[in-house]
Structure 1
Amino acid sequence: MIFMRFIFFIFISVVFITPALSQESDNTFGNKVIDSLYKEDQFYIGVTYNLLGQKPEGLSQNGFSSGFHFGFTKDMPINKRRNIAIGLGVGLSLNSFNQNLQIAKTDGNNLEFSIIDDTDYSKNKFSTYMLEVPLEFRWRTSTAVDYKFWRIYTGFKFGYLFANNTKFEGQPENMKLSNLDIFNKFQYGLSLSAGYNTWNFYFYYSLNPIFKNEAQINGQIIDANALKVGLIFFIL
């Protein structure tokens, strides 16, 4: 509840308070009205291929592990040319990881982790659903009249996992689990977006594990973290 209030406060501050601190200033360029206080790239949509880093021995990925990300980032230029800015926003991140780590419930309702053979199943994955707060340092070659430009955005992304599920299809029986307490609720990492105009490379590296320390295989903690590589598109 405290975290949700914090996110709500951030969202209200970003969307409503910041514009009140600036005044509109328009100039003319030919027949166009030019906003000298322009902002860029305030909405984003991204698609990624998700990887697992720091995997324990025997854990491997298979199939296509995907991510879908979208949100709003308030662009706050910090120089006169307005090509250097700070970005602060809020968004959603939906991710799936296809791999051979089975998460099952025992007769005592405890969770058990095991590496399974590829021949024992047709599908095995876990999915995470996160509310994210991106904080970025933004550099670009934009002007008030140029909508095609180079950009490099680096930053830190803080995420709150509000839902998760696992899905196993195989022998001896299919199994679905949801909202397991074994996942780390708070996940954070470094992000990089770089490109020209529409096409932009995106990379995210998580600085903490996906699972809590209680997630173990034969006494070994599963320290696997998330890496995401893909494309990101900016609007307005």
Structure 2
Amino acid sequence: MATDEAFLKGRVDTLFGTNFEQREGRVVPTTADVALKDGAVKIEAAFLYADLAGSAKLSKTCPWTTTAKIIRAFLDCATRLIIKHGGHVRSFDGDRVMGVFMGDSKNSSAANCGREIHWAVRKIIQPAAFKQFKSISDNGIEIRNCSGIDVGEVRAVRSGIRDNNDLIWIGKAASFSAKLSDVRDEGYSTYISSRVYKQLNQTAKCDGNGKSLWLSASFVFAGEGEMVYKSNHWKKP
């Protein structure tokens, strides 16, 4: 495979000169649905990134097998809950998974999913790990997570080369939800944008007594202030 300077410069010129063939998407696209050469699919969707907090500490403190088992358990639970709520898993990145939700209830589905992932971490993964792994119990390690959710217009574009490629997601909803999943605010494990909050149904917004499940907070993204909503209320699946 050619990789010298002249070839790489030529590839960059070719890619910069691409005219995308964009189409409207009615479902969440897969890699095979988007042409590698010039394809782009525009969708309106809610994006959920679920990230396991403190995995660096796990790797430093625990045997690698323990860290691997905990990350696998987290991704297994998160993936199953995303699918349960009608989402489509489209990316894994270390200890993080991305789900894409479409349809009329996409915002409430994603928000409920985030709160259920929080429940799974606190009520299933944490106690099981504390019981089974001495390196967790001896060091008092708390397994936590954060889910970030935003909604908006996003383009799916295929990137890479033949046999080595995947979808990339171009748009604020994808990048902002990923950024929210990086927040580490003790007690709060689900963050949604104001755009998501405004479109929540009543059961996703309030508890059975009509009390809000969400607390507003300010956030800076790409140099601009954003109003977001955070929740420390988990939800049993």
Please give the TM-score of this superposition, normalised by the length of structure 2. Answer: 0.25
Query: Rg larger in 1 or in 2?
Result: 1
Structure having the higher helix fraction is 2
Structure having the higher strand fraction is 1
